[in-house]
Structure 1
Amino acid sequence: MAESISSRQHQILDLLLNTKVGLSIDELAAQLSISRNAVQQHIDKLERDGYVKTGMLNKTAGRPVRVFVLTEAGINSFQKQYAWFSELLLTKLRQEMGAEELKRYLHDLAESLAQGLLPQFAGKQDAERLTELIRIMNELGFKARLNTSGEEPASIEAVNCIYHDLAQKFQEVCEFDRTLIAKLLERDIEHLECMAKGGGVCKFRTQPSALRIRETFTSALNRLPETSHRRS
């Protein structure tokens, strides 16, 4: 559960998890054996942080009573086993498909995701595309940044691998990142460093596309004097 939640607030969330219709301040106070004011303070904090919300009003003796229920964030504050389930799926897929087919499958999966994100990159130049990519990666939890220090070309660095444990066991997972970045930037990608292989960051550098290289070469050739064309 979230570290910012106190032990007493954990108890409140646990009671609400077990009572889907919600509980009132008085009901929570009775079950926790603490004052109504103390419960109100905890509820105010949990509501402010988005873990609980006001539920349906129960009418008792003609008087409406406000109850509180968990939000999605409140439900998700309890332990989940996503990594375990993902590992189970990848193990089965690798057994049935083989490592290369699994890698190709993850490549196709990343391409499908990229298709849904590409409209956000429409009309953007290279620098704008990089900014948008960094924003999307940070929304996913990568804690990404653009490294422009030094004499080498700029690189994309992620200091948090969002599936680090999985990538250590299934290095095919890295194909998902490489493909997604390449498709969104419309550039070939060089994977320079990988946290799953012991690197300090996951580091990617874009390479100019074959079309851009050809256009640059053609432009340079056209600027040569006519005599140079004849010699060549």
Structure 2
Amino acid sequence: MKYVRDAARAPGDDPGVQEAHARTRERVARSILENGPSTAAALGERLGLTPAAVRRHLDTLLAEGVIESREERVYGHRGRGRPAKVFVLTPAGRDAFEQAYDDLAVGALRFLAETGGEHLVAEFARRRIADLEDRYRPIIESVPPEQRAAALAGALSADGYAASAQASPVTGEQLCQHHCPVAHVAEQFPQLCEAETEAFARLLDTHVQRIATIAHGEGVCTTHIPRSGSAAGTTGKQNESAERISHI
């Protein structure tokens, strides 16, 4: 990972020590990538690092612009004191990890839109996601309905999306993707996100609602999945509730 391994070196540090520190910083950054916004305590526990070591590596990553800090969002009653600080990857930090698409892809889609129309970009997005949908369908259909969100998260993780499924603060579940290999392209062409959301709805056989995307500057792509039976008649009140759901 370029940004992490190009960290500033303290004069006099042994090269072996420098390399060890670089590998640890890479582990810290990758843990944030795969698990989403994380506190220093969570990172230390996850990686087996002391609080002092975590802080040292976080300070370096902050100085390099690989990560940034935010206040943790708290649902429900908030206790006394300031919210915990969480660390998330910046766009530059995400660039340090391999991206599947680059400026060539953006240029090609822009040419397609300008010469053939936006509808061709949408058709391209649907065709691109069709292969993923075909591969995932047997996996999803092999488990009971209540396990399908977790099965979809597992399939996405195997493809590098670092996904997880968790209970929603309102009703149903949230599917979270902590990495998006096409985030830079989707920033300019949201049709990619829309086609993916449509595929999720078909795979899970229920209405789903995309409420956050990495392409729009959020730390995680988050999709709300209502509990079985609530999709067909989604009421205005449920929609308003889903809109209030947000990732940490």
What TM-score does the superposition give when structure 2 sets the normalisation length? Answer: 0.48
Whole-angstrom distance in 1 between the partners of 2:204 and 2:216:
25
Q: Which amino acid aligns with 1:99?
A: E
Structure 2 counterparts to residues 176-195 of structure 1, below 5 A:
176-195=195-214
The one-letter amino acid paired with 1:140 is D
Q: Per the alignment, do residues 80 and 116 of structure 1 end up closer, same or farther by CA in structure 2, a change over 3 Å counting? A: closer
SS at match of 1:111: helix
Whether 1:95 and 2:119 are equivalent positions in the alignment is no
Q: Which runs of 5+ in 1 are unaligned?
A: 7-78, 215-232
Secondary structure of 2:175's aligned partner: strand
Deviation, 1:135, is 0.9
**Structure 1 equivalent of residue 185 of structure 2:** 166
Alignment match, 2:165: 146
The one of 215, 218, 221 equivalent to 1:199 is: 218
Aligned pairs for 1:1-232 (under 5 A) are 82-148=101-167, 150-207=169-226, 213=232
Q: Considering Cα pairs closer than 8 Å and 6+ residues apart, tell me whether 1 or 2 has the greater RCO.
A: 2
With over 3 angstroms needed to count, the CA separation of the structure-2 counterparts of 1:139 and 1:149, relative to structure 1, is same
Deviation at 1:186, TM superposition (A): 2.0
What is the alpha-carbon distance in structure 2 between the residues aligned to residue 106 and residue 80 of structure 1? 17
Instruction: Pick closer, same or farther for the CA change 1:173–1:212 going to 2, 3 Å.
Output: closer
Q: Which 5+ residue runs of structure 2 have no aligned equivalent?
A: 6-14, 16-97, 234-248
Q: Secondary structure at the match of 2:102?
A: helix
Distance 1:149 1:189, change over 3 A: closer
Going from structure 1 to structure 2, the CA distance change for 1:181 and 1:106 (only over 3 Å counts) comes to: same
Q: CA RMSD in A?
A: 3.5
1:188/1:208 contact within 8 Å kept: no
One-letter code of the match for 1:95?
A: E
Same amino acid, percent of matched pairs: 18
TM-score scaled by length of structure 1: 0.51
